[in-house]
Amino acid sequence: MSRVRRRSWHATAVAGLGIFLVVVAITVCAPFLTHYDPIDQVLRDAFKPPSAAHWLGTDRLGRDLFARIAYGGRFPLAITLVAVSVSAIFGTLVGAIVGRVGGAVEEIAMRLIDVFISFPSILVGLVIAALLKPGFGTLVLAITVTDWTPFARLARAITLEINTRAYIEAASAVGAPEPLILRKHVLHHLVGPVLAMGFLRFGHGLLTIAGLSYLGLGAQPPAPDWGAMLAEAQPYMMRFPILVLAPGLIIFATALSVVLAGRGLMLMFDAPHGGPRA
Amino acid sequence: MNLLEVRDLQTHFFCDEGVVKAVDGVDLTVRRGEILGLVGETGCGKSAIALSIMGLLDPPGSVVGGSIRLGGVDLLGLPESEMAKIRGNRVAMVFQQPQSSLDPVFKVGHHIVEAIRVHRAVAKCEAWRQAVELLREAGIPDPERLAHVYPHELSGGMAQRVMIAIALACRPDLVIADEPTTALDVTIQAQILDLLRSLRAKFGMAVIVITHDLGVIAEMADRVAVMYAGRIVEQTDVRSLFSEPHHPYTQGLIVCMPRLDEVRARLTVIPGAVPSLMDIAPGCRFASRCQARVLHDMTRCMEAEPPLEAVHPGHEVRCWLYDRAASAEPAHHGPRGAGAGYRLGLGAPADSPANGSPAGHMPAGRDSIPHPLLAVTELFKHFSTGTGVFRRGGGTVRAVDGVSFDIREGETLALVGESGCGKTTVGRAILRLIPATSGTVLFGGRDVLNAGTAELKALRRQMQIIFQDPSSSLDPRMRVGDSVGLGLLVNGIKRKERDDAVIATLRTVGLEPYHARRYPRELSGGQRQRVVIARALALRPKFVVCDEPVSALDVSVQSQILNLLRDLQQELRLSYLFIAHNLSVVNHIADRVAVMYLGKVVELADREELFRNPLHPYTRALMSSVPSTQPSGGRARIVLNGDLPSQRDMPSGCRFHTRCPFAQERCAKEDPLMREVTPGHSAACWLV
């Protein structure tokens, strides 16, 4: 029976995307939200509590905390965005291709992926960040090295299901070459699930970046960065808890929002609509 | 005495898109010990009636009106706790998919023990004894052993027997069988129908058989109710339904069925498809597809819905043509006269002078063509089973085991057999969609199996395939036009030309240009199958493998597609390899027929010759298993015992000897070869 169904937005996805967009808006629009410079030190204003002048107070060097939070998101968010995008594209292509090729190639690729998965990503990130000069490219690499594997597994799983569909046989029957089948029939079906997975992995990547920054391998002082702010504020945690709470909470909120969005999207793509399930 | 009385039943499904009135005012009565057939196409509300009676409707479905009385008790008024005592006890159900209705973690015997102990205070060991007895009654060989087996070890036919045993566990008054044989092969279907009938005779329970197959009805039922779009349109005893169908829909259903005992050049069709049950137009629900309405120029049908009224005692019809009070109808259009007046297509259809002779469309000098278009010689396809990189512990499945045949230009060769006989694999191997193990396939003299990339690409323009299930053979995310045009794209045809070709092809298969912009989900099953045909034809092939092209379709749509395939064959001089399990369909479309059993062709002959004089016992059994449309009751038939053996461990000698009623000692030792018995008719059997 043909039934035209418009896909409705899942509440979880809406909530997650909403929070995420607010966070992104704060970091992007930082110059319009505050007139403070995040690296301007005003030592006599150190450790000021929240007030009308300083919405979240100031840190040990008298820098405006809100400005540092707002600007401090740019670095981790940008790195995670690039790293997850690279991982998603690379992993999806690998998964789809080995899923189509099959045989020994697939078997070897999947065992390699198992090897990659068995490394804790923070450890790999640490090693790479420590060996290479800390910076944008290094951190992207540190995330991507382990983060492409879930995409590859997801893409392969869906591809294997698509392989059983008769339209793939029909395409071979008209003589469609493999790249065309991949482009026309396989990648189409991967977009939704990979997008959902991307959001889920974004949360993971963000936490890894925050961790590396906390360990001093991310953004270098005095540049503002959520993870680095946590590390800086640690000695004053008892007396001025807001210094830890503010960056901690925004990392938490951002990671939670993308996970919610990913979960919601996944449920949406899982809903019956005739396409393959993730 | 009436066992079950359903009055004005209204079952609606409350979906996001609107209310689907699946059952819309249905009256049914079932007497004790009677078999009532409920027949209709997909989506007409048959199953919704069954679930309403069982109290098994899940949201969004619910019964919104009417009454269901079982032995005087209104089931709809009962609380769930009371209903649970009736369900499985006084009313039991047999479902379509026996395998998925059994819990894989419980042994077969436990399913029955549970069914007994829910309703009866019986000790476990006593229940087990009863379970074994029930399995024996359900015709399961060696029931003591089978009771200890897990469901996945059963074949489909065996699982359905177990389901029947479960249904009979508490000796119910009424058994509802919802498409009990649809998922089974014909020879197994014949076994199950026989079983149901004999159990009815033994226990005297009433049975409601729900089916889309009029053949099953003719074999099984005492009385029949024909459903269309949520309503019963005709209700009568089975003999008068087939001898004197009154409602134009019933007549259409009977007439459009391909039959074993009659060959017509064209099948009569019911145009269109079952309407949506969401927004129902006023008037008769069948009016938009009714040819009798057009013939008699009836305006009333569009305005008001006719009531279900008796034309004879015990024969009720919902149609204005039989309205006695109607003054507009001339007197001689009374019930009987009118019935004969538009018995559609039973006479010679005007557009086919070659009525009765399907050979009429074949090329005149068939024998003068020296070279076959396609020659398949000793084709083998073995699969190795097993898991892991090294495929340890697996055996070899000999799916295709030395198949040879050829197909001439413009000819249709049908490949017939039960599921698992390898017929689909043959089609795939010929097109090189799967690699063959060995053998040769020559297409127009060119070696298909060893063709290089470029040659294969050229060959593929000429050899195409039509799939069984149009819902999985079209990419749901791709517009129809792109699906049809993919082959043209592959062959480097430019955008503009491609679009023109796609539209031309869509027109050839009876679709409109605007369909190119649609997605598959926006089309009906029949339309989707037309798209699949269009995709195969877009490259102008000479040869098409039709893999069960109509078995996933409704009866009324099936005849449309079969006619289309024949028309296209004549128009484009196509050759078909027509893979099917349904002999009546084959009888309608084939020029020659090859019967396959467990990877081998066991008989090959001209269609007429084969149906007149089947030689191989398997062919004869297949033919006698096809439910006829004549409710004769006492037709002699060959019911094969047992199931298809596993291909992993093939029987020795003739592979049919384990099920063959005529098997001799020699059959178990030596494998008979194909032998030409009369010119053009060969069979592989020691007895011929």
ipTM computed for the complex: 0.79
Last residue of a domain, one of B313, B341, B369: B341
pLDDT above 80 (res B134): yes
Within 8 A of A104 by CB-CB distance, chain B residues are 389
Q: CB distance B460–A188 less than 8 Å?
A: no
**Cβ pair A70, A33 in contact under 8 A:** yes
A6–chain B nearest CA distance, Å: 10
pLDDT above 70 (res B56): yes
How do beta strands B206-211 and B35-39 pair? Answer: parallel
With tokens 């042994």, the residue in question is: B107
Within 8 A of B491 by CB-CB distance, chain A residues are 175
Read off the pLDDT of residues A145-201 as tens digits, 9 standing for 90 and up.
989 999 999 999 999 999 988 899 999 999 899 999 999 999 989 999 999 999 999
Q: Max Cα separation, chain B?
A: 81
Number of H helices, E strands in chain B: 24, 24
- Shared domain check, B27 and B138: yes
**pLDDT class for B388, splitting at 50, 70, 90?**
low
Lowest-pLDDT choice from B8-22, B428-442, B497-511:
B8-22
pLDDT above 60 (res B634): no
**CB count, 10 Å around CB of A105?**
12
Chain A and chain B share a number of CB contacts under 8 A equal to 87
pLDDT above 70 (res B351): no
A245–chain B nearest CA distance, Å: 45
- Shared domain check, B215 and B265: no
Last residue of a domain, one of B341, B368, B389: B341
CA pair distance B560, B256, nearest whole angstrom = 9
Token duo for residue B647: 């291909």
**Three-class SS state of B321:** helix
Q: Measured between CB atoms, which of B457, B468, B477 is closest to A188?
A: B477
Q: What is the length of chain A?
A: 278
One-letter amino acid identity for B467? F
Q: CB distance A174–B524 less than 8 Å?
A: no
- Shared domain check, B81 and B207: yes
CA pair distance B197, B676, nearest whole angstrom = 40
Q: Where are the domains of chain A?
A: 12-270
Q: What values do phi and psi take at B601, rounded to 5?
A: -85, 125
With tokens 């009714």, the residue in question is: B290
**Cβ pair A242, A57 in contact under 8 A:** yes
pLDDT of the residue at B547: 92
The answer to whether A272 faces chain B, any CB pair under 8 Å, is no
pTM assigned to the model: 0.80
Within 8 A of A174 by CB-CB distance, chain B residues are 460, 464, 486-487, 490, 535, 538-539
Mutate to test the interface with A, among B42, B459, B475, B502 (most CBs of A within 10 A): B475
The partner residues of B19 in beta bridges, in order of sequence, read B14
Domains: count for chain B: 2
**Cβ pair A145, A124 in contact under 8 A:** yes
**pLDDT class for B502, splitting at 50, 70, 90?**
very high
pLDDT of the residue at A205: 92
The partner residues of B384 in beta bridges, in order of sequence, read B396
Q: CB distance A171–B477 less than 8 Å?
A: no
Q: CB distance A167–B389 less than 8 Å?
A: no
Range of the domain at B274: 247-341
**Cβ pair A246, A67 in contact under 8 A:** no
- Shared domain check, B144 and B57: yes
**Cβ pair B17, B41 in contact under 8 A:** no
How do beta strands B374-384 and B174-178 pair? Answer: unpaired
Q: CB distance A170–B467 less than 8 Å?
A: yes
CA pair distance B358, B586, nearest whole angstrom = 11
Structural element, H or E, at residue A181: helix A178-181
**Cβ pair B246, B312 in contact under 8 A:** no
pLDDT above 70 (res B316): yes
B266–chain A nearest CA distance, Å: 27
One-letter amino acid identity for B64? V
pLDDT above 80 (res B275): no
With tokens 């099917």, the residue in question is: B580
- Shared domain check, B216 and B251: no
The answer to whether A102 faces chain B, any CB pair under 8 Å, is no
Token duo for residue B571: 């128009």
Q: CB distance B473–A167 less than 8 Å?
A: yes
- Shared domain check, B198 and B96: yes
- Shared domain check, B207 and B60: yes
With tokens 């014909």, the residue in question is: B186
pLDDT of the residue at B629: 66
DSSP state of A103: H
- Shared domain check, B255 and B153: no
Read off the pLDDT of residues A83-92 as tens digits, 9 standing for 90 and up.
999 999 999 9
Residue B496 lies in a domain: no
CA pair distance B454, B491, nearest whole angstrom = 11
Q: CB distance B522–A2 less than 8 Å?
A: yes
Strands (E), B241-358: 309-312, 315-317
Q: CB distance B428–A2 less than 8 Å?
A: no
Sign for the pseudo-dihedral over CA of B313, B319, B321, B323: positive
The partner residues of B15 in beta bridges, in order of sequence, read B18
Q: CB distance B523–A165 less than 8 Å?
A: no
pLDDT of the residue at B394: 60
Within 8 A of B477 by CB-CB distance, chain A residues are 188-189, 275
Within 8 A of B433 by CB-CB distance, chain A residues are 169, 172-173
How is B388-443 classified by DSSP, letter by letter?
TTTTBT--EEEEEEEEEEEE-TT-EEEEE--TTSSHHHHHHHHTTSS--SEEEEEE
CA distances from A107 to A3, A98, B3, B33 (A): 39, 9, 61, 60
**Three-class SS state of B455:** helix
With tokens 């694999």, the residue in question is: B425
Within 8 A of B472 by CB-CB distance, chain A residues are 165-167
A197–chain B nearest CA distance, Å: 20
Nearest residue to A155 (alpha-carbon basis) of A109, A116, A120: A109
The predicted model gives B570-584 an average pLDDT of 91
CA distances from B64 to A205, B9, B14, B76, B91 (A): 53, 8, 11, 10, 21
Read off the pLDDT of residues A11-58 as tens digits, 9 standing for 90 and up.
888 999 999 999 999 999 999 998 888 888 888 888 888 888 888 889
Nearest residue to B520 (alpha-carbon basis) of B467, B565, B472: B472
The answer to whether A111 faces chain B, any CB pair under 8 Å, is no
Q: CB distance B431–A166 less than 8 Å?
A: no
Structural element, H or E, at residue A201: helix A187-214
Rounded to a whole number of angstroms, the CA Rg of chain B reads 26
Residue B414 lies in a domain: no
Residue B458 lies in a domain: no
CA distances from A99 to A108, A171, B472, B572 (A): 12, 17, 19, 38
DSSP state of A29: T
Read off the pLDDT of residues B405-464 as tens digits, 9 standing for 90 and up.
999 999 999 999 888 788 999 999 999 999 999 999 999 889 999 999 889 999 999 999
Structural element, H or E, at residue A140: helix A136-163
The partner residues of B577 in beta bridges, in order of sequence, read B413, B545
3-class SS letters over B95-135? CCCHHHHCCCCCCHHHHHHHHHHHHCCCCHHHHHHHHHHHH
A99–chain B nearest CA distance, Å: 15
Token duo for residue A126: 């640490």
Q: CB distance B486–A174 less than 8 Å?
A: yes
Taking all residues of chain B, what is their mean pLDDT, rounded to a whole number? 84
pLDDT of the residue at B471: 82
A-chain residue closest to B467, CA distance = A166
**Cβ pair B666, B583 in contact under 8 A:** no
**Cβ pair B242, B255 in contact under 8 A:** no
Residue B129 lies in a domain: yes
Lowest-pLDDT choice from A252-256, B421-425, B637-641:
B637-641
With tokens 């791709």, the residue in question is: B478
Determine if the peptide bond prior to A247 is cis (ω within 30°): no
Residue B546 lies in a domain: no
A-chain residue closest to B429, CA distance = A173
CA pair distance A121, A143, nearest whole angstrom = 7
Q: Measured between CB atoms, which of A167, A175, A177 is closest to B474?
A: A167
DSSP state of B91: E
Read off the pLDDT of residues B517-530 as tens digits, 9 standing for 90 and up.
999 988 888 899 99
- Shared domain check, B264 and B199: no
Q: CB distance B532–A170 less than 8 Å?
A: yes
How do beta strands B61-70 and B206-211 pair? Answer: unpaired
Q: Measured between CB atoms, which of A2, A3, A175 is closest to B487?
A: A175
Q: Measured between CB atoms, which of A2, A171, A188 is closest to B486?
A: A171
pLDDT above 80 (res B175): yes
pLDDT above 90 (res B328): no
Question: Which CATH fold would you assign to the domain A12-270?
Answer: MetI-like fold (1.10.3720)
One-letter amino acid identity for B53? I
pLDDT of the residue at B167: 92
**Cβ pair B161, B111 in contact under 8 A:** no
- Shared domain check, B40 and B95: yes
CA pair distance B536, B467, nearest whole angstrom = 10
Residue B301 lies in a domain: yes
Please name the residue ranges forming H helices in B419-509.
423-430, 453-460, 480-490, 495-508
The predicted model gives B115-137 an average pLDDT of 91
Mutate to test the interface with B, among A167, A191, A273 (most CBs of B within 10 A): A167
A-chain residue closest to B42, CA distance = A1
**Cβ pair B166, B87 in contact under 8 A:** no
Contact residues, A window 147-176, toward B, CB-based 8 Å cutoff: 165-167, 169-176
Read off the pLDDT of residues A209-233 as tens digits, 9 standing for 90 and up.
999 889 888 888 888 999 999 999 9
Residue B34 lies in a domain: yes
B473–chain A nearest CA distance, Å: 4
B426–chain A nearest CA distance, Å: 14
CA pair distance B186, B182, nearest whole angstrom = 9
- Shared domain check, B187 and B53: yes
**Three-class SS state of B76:** helix
CATH for B204: 3.40.50.300
The partner residues of B37 in beta bridges, in order of sequence, read B209, B224
**CB count, 10 Å around CB of B642?**
14
Last residue of a domain, one of B294, B314, B341: B341
Within 8 A of A273 by CB-CB distance, chain B residues are 476
**Cβ pair B172, B131 in contact under 8 A:** no
B474–chain A nearest CA distance, Å: 5
- Shared domain check, B209 and B297: no
Residue B652 lies in a domain: no
Residues on chain B bordering chain A, Cβ-to-Cβ distance under 8 angstroms: 16-17, 42-43, 389, 428, 431, 433, 456-457, 460-461, 463-465, 467-469, 472-478, 482-483, 486-487, 489-491, 520-524, 532, 535-536, 538-539
How do beta strands B681-683 and B600-606 pair? Answer: antiparallel
Interaxial angle between packed helices A187-214 and A136-163, expressed in degrees from 0 to 180 and rounded to the nearest 10: 150
Read off the pLDDT of residues B456-493 as tens digits, 9 standing for 90 and up.
999 999 999 999 888 888 999 899 999 999 999 998 88
Q: What values do phi and psi take at B24, rounded to 5?
A: -130, 80
